[in-house]
Amino acid sequence: MQCREHLETYLQERRIPFQLMHHPRALSAQEVAASEHVSGHRVAKTVIAWADEHLIMLVLPASLWVDFNQVREALGARVVRLANEQEFSALFADCEPGAMPPFGNLYGLPTYIDPHLSEEKEIIFPAGTHTETIQLKYADFARLVHPLVIPMASASSFV
């Protein structure tokens, strides 16, 4: 089963209302926001990182970047760094590279979300492809994923 179908089934089985949207191919979260004509503050960007020796999922607004020092401090980790695609691509074999949805619970990853995104009424995120997104209420997302809210975003960083 492909990622989009897996997500749709997961949400439908839990009676979570959502909207599947299609857009021209977009490779970055900011491009998704532009193609969907929404603020980058509502589009969730998924970043996979290492916290010490554990892979983690970081979710933040498309308009911001990960501040790894903030993540390290919030988690009490010694080292936090960006994972390279070869280190995690097998986990997301049902997704196009770089189009992972922010559902770490479905992939065995702890999920952390930035407070900026957790304050949004609805969020939009890739549905496993570079041409499809899903929109749903943040409250429903939080109820399913149970992300830990930690500060992690900066307006001027590298990821």
pLDDT tens digits for 72-87? 999 999 999 999 999 9
Give 62's pLDDT tier (boundaries 50, 70, 90). Answer: confident
Nearest alpha-carbon partner for 59 in 37, 39, 41: 41
In a domain, 159, yes or no: no
> What element of type H or E holds 61?
strand 54-61
Q: What's the Cα-to-Cα distance from 64 to each of 5, 116, 117, 129, rounded to whole Å?
A: 29, 9, 10, 21
Interval 57-86 mean pLDDT: 94
pTM metric for this prediction: 0.89
Supply the pLDDT for residue 158: 47
Residue 72 sits in which domain range?
3-125+133-147
Q: Is residue 158 part of a domain?
A: no
- CATH code where residue 112 lies: 3.90.960.10
Residue 13 lies in a domain: yes
Cα 19 vs. chain centroid, distance in angstroms?
A: 17
Tell me which of 1 and 148 has the higher pLDDT: 148
Residue 153 lies in a domain: no
Tell me whether residue 100 is in a domain: yes
Number of domains the chain contains: 1
Q: Write down the pLDDT at residue 74.
A: 96
